[in-house]
Chains A and B, each alone.
Chain A
Amino acid sequence: MAALAESFGRGAMTNHWVDMKNSDVILVMGGNPAENHPVSMQWILKAKKERGAKLIVVDPKYTRTASQADLFIQIRPGTDIAFLGGLVKYIIDNELYFKDYIVNYTDAAFLVDPNFKDTEDLGGVFSGYDPKKKKYNKSTWKYQLDENGIPKKDPTLKDPNCVFQLLKKHFSRYTIDVVSEITGAPKEKILEAYKIYASTGKPNRVATECYAMGWTQHTVGTQNIRCMAIIQLLLGNIGMAGGGVNALRGESNVQGSTDMCLLFHILPGYLPMVRASHVDLKTYIKKTTPKSNDPKSLNWWKHRSKYIVSLLKAFWGDYATPENDFCFNYLPKLDDGKAYSWYDLFDAMYKGKIKGFFAWGQNPACSSANANKARQALSKLDWLVCVNLWDSETASFWKGPGMDPKKVKTEVFLLPAAASVEKEGSITNSGRWLQWRYKAVEPPGEARRDAEIVDELYKRIKALYEKEGGAFPDPIVKLNWNYGDGEVDTKLIAKEVNGYFTKDTTVKGKRFRKGQQVPNFVYLKDDGSTACGNWLYSGSYTEEGNMMARREKIDPTGLGMYPKWAWCWPVNRRVLYNRASVDLMGNPWDPERPVIKWNPSTKKWVGDVPDGPQPPLALGGVLPFIMKPTGVGTIFGKGRADGPFPTHYEPAESPFKNILYPKVRINPVARIFKDTPVDKLVLGGDPRFPYIATTYRVTEHWQTGLMTRNMPWLLELEPQVFVEMSKELAKEIGVKSGDKVIVTSPRGKIWAIAVVTERIKPLRIEGHTCHIVGIPWHYGWRWPEDGSGGDSVNLLTPPAHDPNTSIQETKCFAVNIKRA
């Protein structure tokens, strides 16, 4: 999500599932919808059938999505940037970019500080690299500003310091020959893919891209996606129906849980988490509110003060007043520059710094990379609370493989939770649609809804603090918590999330009474007169009722936006950045697929909810990427930790050289954990682990398998962990399909059943044969109960991570395989 936010302003799928039917070209790379998002595939197939769309699949293995493709290309895991970088070069060299779009709606014409140096100048690193700290000083990664503080531009795109020319130089050596050598893919196929994809640089042709964990789980994960974002901007495919960069998210509500910011670095609605240097609310607002001097930039985040104050009001209600800084100091503060991410968490736990731990609807003993570290870390806890539908490898870790319960001090609670059909509430799908679910039955036995468990725990902890006092009790005892006396009423929570007026107020000429629901976030204020749990969801539960529960099947545009089906953030806008789908006069680039259109006589937009009601750019309106202070799509991504442009680096455990930058083999700022004995990594490969492994999912299982390994129908279809390999490798190591094998990595070993297929083929890389194997990650020792499913592949995966997101490199690591 970090890459999408950097490029376009918001970290979410730009379009939505049904919209894929509007595409002319669909590139699936880093994902596999036919197997992992199966029902979405009908929209891709519809585009193929009805529009004659072309489907291109690029993947380390032949998938069921590939089986439907017009063109399938197998590449070596971890070489996506080489492949995409070659496409950037192809588009630029052949002038296939959408010139009007990039000049007006992206930073292509912006001039960059002349002191900025590219990887081409410095042999693989950007200016500002500090090899000791393995970090960049980004002071030269900036635009040149004019006397008004607005970026200087060269609309002819000729200035050698303009972003477009820098991009051209950056990828100048990503020739088809080089791409083929790095990826292992044949040149003709690469060229064919480039030709098809680049054909969408015209206003009336649109391509979309679908990715998932196949792109994020790399030491260059963020830059994989950045590279695609750059391509989509060059071709003018963002904001368009059938366009976008679409993150296909893995869990039913991972979009919602991210929007609600169950993450260390953000507060609901993507407000930055408070840091120690934010000594008061004023400082927080000043330091985190982006500024823009460009009158054409809407710079939406300028409203930050309204969102944070409304959040504080939702948290601490009447206690939050202007006099006490709206209880700003009740929020915990992170140290500046310090990460508290998943792997920092388990590192701290392993080192004994964490005493108590909640694993709520999650199974880190199987889902955490280098899972052995996570499992051992759990044994250092004083107490552990697990909330789940089933017992898990996490809850029962103390009796897991290699554990002696008599030596494990951890006190463990396992609380039974209700399933989705046993409660009421909303979830947000990948396309940002909030859909409401109803309760069908009561939970079984004594199982309880998660909301109720949170409520009970909160009330009991509050009572203890009220009775006994203790450390800093105010944020707890004064917390605004009114969700019903007996059972928690989810609708009351949904209403708080939407926001309400805390007093009689007039906003934008409209009178509102105290207690009335806020119509949407445009009405939020920073004076304490509004409370709102998540500004992004404001509009989801208004005075008109629960918008998320809507089920009207009307589709006025015919583009599949269904504006009255459920509700979509923000403000029911179905296609993000839709102001980029029109020209400067507000006419759609593609009149056949108009997401929005300016009606000059009524002076209003028709179609989707536009990114701001302002008129088109040429008629005094605003730039299309309203969440970016520049107002435009970002090619020069100066906010990333590892460089403004994506660069091909080898995966941490790759045995191959980096032929583009021989001196800088892997991402120079990759996060690598190494200071505990269990953090093992073979940088640059190791002959003891000669094969490259990648993890994936199967249709019949989900995540660590906890919600599928217990389902007899699903388990029967995919009963145990397997390792998929080519015929050539099988022959080399003397195994056949169905044999039990032992897979080892520097971190551990598991058994698996060999599945010998034609779906993975060995590649020739740098004169060597490169064998790739694939292992699904859904298994664990606890279920099935007889252990016949095997254990988690994450026992093998490495402690190497993306420097922006800290996501692990589970898509490419070194293993060995032997007959059991």
Chain B
Amino acid sequence: MDVKFTRRDFLKLSIGSLVLSSLGINLEPVKAYAKELKIKNAKETTTICPYCSVGCGIIVYSKGGKVVNTEGDPDHVISRGKLCPKGASLYQLANNPTRLLKPLYRAPYSDKWKEVSWDWALDRIAKLVKKTRDKYFIYKNEKGQVVNRVEAIAHVGSAALDNEECYILQKFLRALGIVYIEHQARI
């Protein structure tokens, strides 16, 4: 029999029954042998899924500076080894040919990106921040109250950062006097 399922058929089929893909598929028995070879002598680190807020545990196996396998952490008290398709795809986040590898720059009115060095990019941004801040710094508001702020620079992000990163990021922004600070929680 020639059975071809499209994603749409799959959606239809799933009605009335919880499909596997949304609860986590346990591929362990099938893949156990192949994996054993792959993770032999690999470094093992634990991580937490970067997608939704359940906070599932994932074990990352790496060898020679490359992630060779990721799988649900059976010891994790919330997830107990299970992952949904997103968490189960973590391997592809670490091994992904479309990731950005170099800083890119697009000049005014240009129609393309150009690779630039970190040093150049960071220096240029620092200069632009300073120029904008100095030009638009508001010492006092219309009522004459001291406000020491900058409204001409704004920032959004990010719930994708670690706590420690969020902390120094907001510290940095607030030291500059930036007040338009927002992130995913608002939307």
Contact = CB atoms under 8 A, between A and B. Distances in A.
A408 B178 contact: no
Given A253-B159, A411-B106, A440-B43, A263 B154 contact: no
A429 B164 CA distance: 15
A362 B158 contact: yes
Contacts of B45: 421, 438-440
A429 B162 CA distance: 11
B108 interface: yes
Contact of A714 (B17, B85, B103): B85
B126 interface: yes
Given A251-B160, A413-B121, A440-B43, A460 B14 contact: no
Contact of B177 (A248, A389, A475, A493): A475
B148 to A, nearest CB: 6
Interface string B99-142: 11111111111110100001001111111111011101101010
Contacts of A701: 86
Interface in B133-183: 133-134, 136-137, 139, 141, 143, 145-183
Interface of B is mostly: mixed
A150 B93 CA distance: 57
Nearest to A463: B126
Chain B interface size, as a band, is: 35 or more
A746 B2 CA distance: 45
Nearest to B143: A276
Interface string A24-51: 0000000000111111111000000000
B168 A413 contact: no
Contact of A262 (B89, B102, B148, B183): B183
Contact of A493 (B86, B108, B146, B168): B168
Interface stretch (A641-649, A655-663, A801-809): A801-809
Contact of A758 (B15, B89, B123, B165): B15
A18 B57 CA distance: 14
Given A354-B151, A361-B161, A757-B11, A416 B179 contact: no
29 contacts: A18-B77, A39-B23, A64-B18, A68-B18, A250-B52, A251-B159, A257-B158, A258-B185, A277-B145, A342-B186, A345-B156, A358-B157, A369-B187, A388-B100, A389-B99, A414-B100, A426-B162, A438-B45, A440-B45, A440-B60, A440-B94, A441-B94, A444-B99, A445-B100, A456-B118, A457-B122, A470-B133, A710-B99, A714-B86
Given A264-B180, A340-B180, 12 more contacts: A249-B53, A251-B160, A253-B160, A260-B167, A262-B169, A315-B171, A341-B186, A355-B136, A410-B106, A412-B105, A429-B55, A702-B52
Contact of B23 (A42, A254, A276, A406): A42
Contacts of A808: 187
A565 B100 contact: no
Interface string A696-723: 0001111100011011111001110000
B169 A454 contact: yes
B182 A264 contact: yes
Interface residues of A, number: 181
Pairs A-B, 4 closest by C-beta atoms: A445-B101, A425-B162, A429-B55, A361-B158
A590 B28 CA distance: 40
Contacts of B173: 358
B12 interface: yes
Interface string B49-72: 111111111001010011100100
Contacts of A688: none
B41 interface: no
Interface string A565-583: 1000000000000000000
Residue from the set A422, A700, A719 with the largest chain B CB neighbour count within 10 Å: A700
A98 interface: no
A537 B180 CA distance: 24
Contacts of B167: 260, 268, 493, 496-497, 533-534
A1 B133 CA distance: 32
